[in-house]
Amino acid sequence: MDVTRRGVLGGMLGAGAMLAAPTVLRAEGAAVRMLSGEELIAAARLGGDVGYVVADARTGLVLEARDGGKPMAPASTAKTITTLYALETLGPQFRFQTRVLATGPVSGGRVQGDLILAGGGDPTLDTDGLADLVADLARKGVTGVSGRFLVWGGALPYAEEIAADQPVHVGYNPSISGLILNYNRVHFEWKRAKGGYALAMDARSERYVPKVYTADVAAVARQAPLFDYRQSGGKEHWTVAANALGKAGARWLPVRLPDAYAGDVFQSLARARGIDLPAPEPVRGLPGGAQVLASKASDPLPVILRSMLKYSTNIVAEAVGMTASTVRGVNAARGPSGAAMSDWLSGRLGGTRARFVDHSGLGGDDRIAPVEMVKAVTLLGPKVGLRGLMKPFNLRDEAGGKVKGQEIRVDAKTGTLNFVSTLTGYITAPDGTELTFAIFTGDLARRAQSRDAEQAEGSRGWVGRSKVLQSQLITRWATLYG
C-alpha cells in the first residue's frame, strides 16, 4: 500500500509517510481531531483494495493519495473516460441519424424497389422515434413496397452482449448493433390468470405499446434457473420459473437480435398507419444508390452524454464509444474499441496503464488507476465541459442516509458492480476551493465468487459501506484542503 500527501499529477507516487491526522475547530471553538483516511478505511470494513487520489483542480497538485497508481476496476466511472473520448472525437454538435431509404421511386403510393430501415448507431432511438419515421412516410403518401423490407444495423459491429459475466436476463447487458431500439430491451409483463399467467412482450414507449413478434416467453414449472434463453428460426425464446413471478409484475429483458426486433416494431407501426410492408429481412450491407425518404436525428451528443452519466446506461456508453472509434478509423468492435480508447487516453496523458475492454465499465476486466482517472478529469475534463454533464452527488451520513443541507458541492460519476464501488468527479469546498478526485474500492476475490449473480449475497451491504466511506473522504478533503 502506498499513501502519500502532496505531489504533482503524473509523478506523485513516490514512497511517503502519512502526516498526522489534523485537528479542526467546531463552530463553538472546541478542537476535534479529524480521522485520517486510514482510520476511515479501517472503520468501513471492506477488505479488498481501496485506492484514491484527490488533487487541486486548478493546479493539478495532488493533495492526498492511497494506492493511487494501482490499476483497479472502475465499474461505471469508465463512462467518464468514454465521455471525454466521444466529445473530443465527435464534437458537441454531433447527432446520430436513423434513416428510411428506398432503392426506387415512389409511384402510386408504392416504393418501386426495396425499403430499408437503416440504423445510425443511435442508442436513444425508441418506439416513438420509429413512429415518427413511419408518420413521415405516410405524409409522403407511401402505402407499400414492390420489393423487400430490409433492416440494416451495420453502422456499428454487432456484439451479442456487453459483458459475458452477467446473468442472461438483465436488461442492462443487451446486444450491441448499429440499430438500437429501446436500449435493445423488450418489455415483459405478467399477471396471474385462470390456470396460470397471462404473459406479454411489447416494445412500449411513451405513446405506443406495440406487440413484439420476434420474442416470446413462457412460464414453466421449475426451481431454477429464473430465466432461460434460446434462439431459433430468427426469433428469441424465453422461459421463466413460474413460482418466481408472484401475482403480477414487469421487467425489461435484453434483446439479442436487435435488427429483427426493430424491423418487427417498425412493420407493426407501419401497418397501423396503412403502410403494408413484408416481413423484415436483416441485411449486412446497404444497397448502393438508395435515396432517403425519412430521417430521425438524435439529440446533440452532450444531451445524450448527460443522460448517460445520470442513469449510467451501458448501451449508450458502448454506442457512443464505438461510434467514436469508427470515426477515428480504428477497429470499432467492442473489445478493440475499448483498447483504442485506452491508447487514446495514454496519448492524451503521456502514458497510462489503463486497459478498457468496453466503454461502459460493465466488463470486470477494465482497469485504470485512480491517478489516471484524476488526471483525465483534471486535464481533459475542462476542455469539454465534463463537470456540467455530471450528476450532483449527495453525501451520505454514517447510517447511509442523505446528508441534509449539504454545503459541499460534488458533481460525480458513480460506479457499482458486485463488490466494486467507485466514484470520480469534482468537489467545491464551502470556501470555493475546487478539487478533483477518484475513489476506487473493490474486493475482486468476493466478486469472482459471485459470477453470474444479479445481486450477490453481501454485496449490497458492502457497497453501502463503501458509499459511506466515499462521503467521509470527500468531507475530510473539503474540510482539510478547502
Residues 53 and 13 in one domain: yes
Provide the percentage of residues in the chain whose pLDDT is more than 70: 93
CA triple 105-107-112, angle to 5 deg: 50
Task: State the average pLDDT over residues 20-42.
Answer: 68
At residue 417, does pLDDT exceed 60?
Answer: yes
Is residue 362 within 8 Å of 176, Cβ to Cβ?
A: no
Whole-angstrom CA distances from 448 to 225, 293, 439, 463 are 20, 50, 21, 16
| Cα 328 to Cα 330: distance, rounded to the nearest angstrom | 6
User: For the chain, what is the domain count?
Assistant: 2
Let me know whether 410 and 339 are in one domain. Answer: yes
Which residue reads 438524435 in cell numbers? 298
CATH number of the structural domain spanning residue 204: 3.50.80.20
Q: Which of 80-84, 415-419, 448-452 has the lowest mean pLDDT?
A: 448-452
Q: Is the pLDDT of residue 415 over 90?
A: yes
Q: Are residues 272 and 147 in the same domain?
A: yes
C-alpha cell at 106: 415512389
Cβ(354)–Cβ(70) under 8 Å? no
Domain that holds residue 74: 3-91+302-481
Q: What is the pLDDT of residue 34?
A: 85
pLDDT at 29: 53
Phi, psi of 20 (to 5 degrees): -60, 145
Q: Indicate whether 271 and 399 sit together in one domain.
A: no
Name the domain boundary from 297, 315, 344. Answer: 297
The pLDDT of residue 462 is above 80 = yes
Q: What does the radius of gyration of the chain's CA atoms come to, in whole angstroms? A: 25
Could you tell me the CATH number of the domain that includes residue 382?
3.40.710.10
145 and 288 in one domain?
A: yes
- Where among 270, 297, 324 does a domain terminate? 297
Residues 102 and 211 in one domain: yes
Q: What is the pLDDT of residues 54-105, one digit of tens each?
A: 999 999 999 999 999 999 999 999 999 999 999 999 999 999 999 999 999 9
Please say which residue of 297, 326, 361 terminates a domain. 297
Identify the band that residue 5 occupies on the pLDDT scale cut at 50, 70 and 90.
Answer: low
- In this structure, the answer to whether residues 86 and 24 fall within a common structural domain is yes
- Based on the domain organization, do 286 and 329 belong to the same domain? no
Residues 129 and 223 in one domain: yes
Rounded CA separation 100/294 (Å) = 5
DSSP H/E element including 425? strand 420-428
| Spatial separation of the C-alpha atoms in residues 41 and 51, rounded to whole Å | 10
Contact residues for 468 (Cβ-Cβ < 8 A; gap 6+):
44, 396, 397, 398, 400
Q: What is the arithmetic mean of pLDDT over 395-412? A: 94
φ, ψ dihedrals at 414, nearest 5°: -90, 165
